[in-house]
Copies of this chain bind each other. A is one copy, B any other.
Amino acid sequence: MNSINALIKRQAPEHSLEQVFYLDEAIYRHDLENIFMSDWLYVCHDSQVARAGDCYTWEVADESVIVARDEELKLHAFANVCRHRGSRICEAGQSSHKRLVCPYHAWTYGLNGQLLNARQMDESFDKSASGLKKLYLEEFCGLIFISFSENPPSFALLREELSEPLKVFDIKNTKVAHHEVHPTHANWKLVLENFNECYHCGPAHKEFSASHSLMLEKDRQRVFDELIAKRAPAAGISAEPVGIMQIDEKTKANAPYYYDRYALFKGYLTGSEDGQPVAPLLGEVSGYDGGASNVQLGNLTYLLIYADHVVLYRFTPRSVNLTDAELIWFVRSDADLENDVDIERMIWLWNVTTIADKDIIERNQKGVQSRYYRPGPYAPMETYTINFIKWYLNTFSK
């Protein structure tokens, strides 16, 4: 890690990373260990594990986690590894069980992870020492997070400060309306760098740029900020920025968090091609304010909240140069997906945008592999990406 510290010192401020950070297997293992295995990771929504016995299994790196709701409706998270010979117990996705039974030799666990039965083991075998490995779990606004860390960052401050602005959307009482995965052949940091800046929106995303003021330079955004500061409260929605992304003394031991709201252009009520609604208003929202909220929950989970639907973004590294970009759309739980929601129109914008991003991120990956790649200067519009890079380099000095 000495050579890494040398690289970090060499790293020009507000420039993209040195090549090695994008390509090196050892650095990728650092990233998995110190970020993905240390931070909070979104697994699923409350509605996907609604009843006793419901389980949701999700995979990242070499790990698989089971989120299970027990008979008292309490949520648990376990490593999906049988204590006998290590077999995975549940398959990925939703399932429902009275007991968690390993398919290999039928060792049987309760929904709280306790080992209930191990067939034909000697009497000397101590079942109580062989429960499933428990993992930390947090539920916030119906969004279920787990951490593989023994000492994850605190969720308290995030919960305290974001509860108020998110309340009106009642995300707990939503449900998944659609889900897409776009495997992107690039290092996960290039995917996050892309996600964190809108300098590329003008050249690369004409669909997004037609409706979202986020694509404007800061100076030109100001007039739209003034507009949304009036329109949002009129619909019961906060337009006040809260929190700070990624780097802050206060948040060192806390999961970072962020909330703001920005305006859509004239005529756009939500993130559809024609700007017209695609679903019933969320929660207690009282009208279409023509805005969208950027939300960050911890370092790795992002929401975009329109008046009538939520998009959740999850970026999961699969190898040093492959990352799944995942989109999950939520609508209010009592919406009728057949009659109240126009799924095609709802998913259009972020599918075309993510497909375009996949292409430019993969070109970026190919370019950073070249011997002629040199870290280049970020533009003023790339502030959040600059912050992301600062935060990332900081993970080496923990």
- CB of A29, distance to nearest CB on chain B (Å): 12
Stretch at the interface among A44-52, A335-343, A376-384: A376-384
Q: Which residues of chain A (168-225) have a CB below 8 Å from chain B?
A: 193, 199-200, 202-204, 217
Residue of B nearest to A372 (CB): B79
CB of A27 closer than 8 Å to a CB of B: no
Interface residues on A, range: 35 or more
Query: Are the CB atoms of B370 and A62 closer together than 8 Å?
Result: yes
Check B120 against A379 for contact (C-beta < 8 Å): yes
Q: Distance in Å from the Cβ of A169 to the closest Cβ of chain B?
A: 32
Q: Say whether, besides A63-B370, A133-B372, A376-B82, A202 and B106 are in contact (CB < 8 Å).
A: yes
Identity of the chain B residue whose Cβ is nearest the Cβ of A118 in the assembled complex: B379
**Is A333 at the interface (CB under 8 A from chain B)?**
no
Residues of B within 8 A of A371 (CB): 37, 62-63, 148
Contact B120 A374 (CB under 8 A): no
A101 to B367, CA, bound (A): 15
Which residues from chain B contact A363 at a C-beta distance below 8 Å? Answer: 87-88, 103-104
Query: Are B88 and A366 neighbours in the complex by a CB distance under 8 Å?
Result: yes
Contact A377 B204 (CB under 8 A): no
- CB-CB < 8 A to A203: which residues of B? 101, 103-106
Judge if A121 is at the interface, Cβ distance under 8 Å. Answer: yes
Residues of B within 8 A of A369 (CB): 62
A203 to B359, CA, bound (A): 46
Docked pose: A88 CA to B365 CA in angstroms: 8
Q: Assuming the A-B contacts A81-B372, A103-B360, are A367 and B200 also in contact, with contact meaning beta carbons closer than 8 angstroms in the complex?
A: no
Interface SS majority for chain A: loop
Whole-angstrom distance between the alpha carbons of A280 and B355 in the complex?
A: 47
Bound complex: CA A86 to CA B366 (Å): 8
Give the Cβ gap from A77 to chain B, nearest Cβ, in Å.
12
**A367 to B374, alpha carbons, bound, how many Å?**
40
- Docked pose: A104 CA to B363 CA in angstroms: 9
Which A residues, 85 to 144, have Cβ-Cβ distances below 8 Å to chain B?
A: 85-88, 101, 103-106, 118-122, 125, 130, 133
Contact of A294 with B by CB under 8 A: no
Most chain B CB within 10 A, of A87, A122, A130, A371, is at A87
Please list 13 pairs of residues, one from A and one from B, whose beta carbons are closer than 8 Å in the complex, sorted by A's number: A62-B366, A79-B370, A80-B367, A82-B367, A86-B364, A104-B364, A119-B199, A119-B202, A120-B199, A120-B217, A120-B379, A120-B380, A121-B380
Task: In the A-B complex, list the 8 residue pairs whose CB atoms are closest, starting with the nearest.
Answer: A79-B372, A106-B203, A86-B367, A62-B369, A86-B373, A86-B368, A88-B363, A84-B376
A: residues with CB less than 8 A from B are 16, 37, 62-64, 79-88, 101, 103-106, 118-122, 125, 130, 133, 148, 193, 199-200, 202-204, 217, 359-360, 363-364, 366-374, 376-381
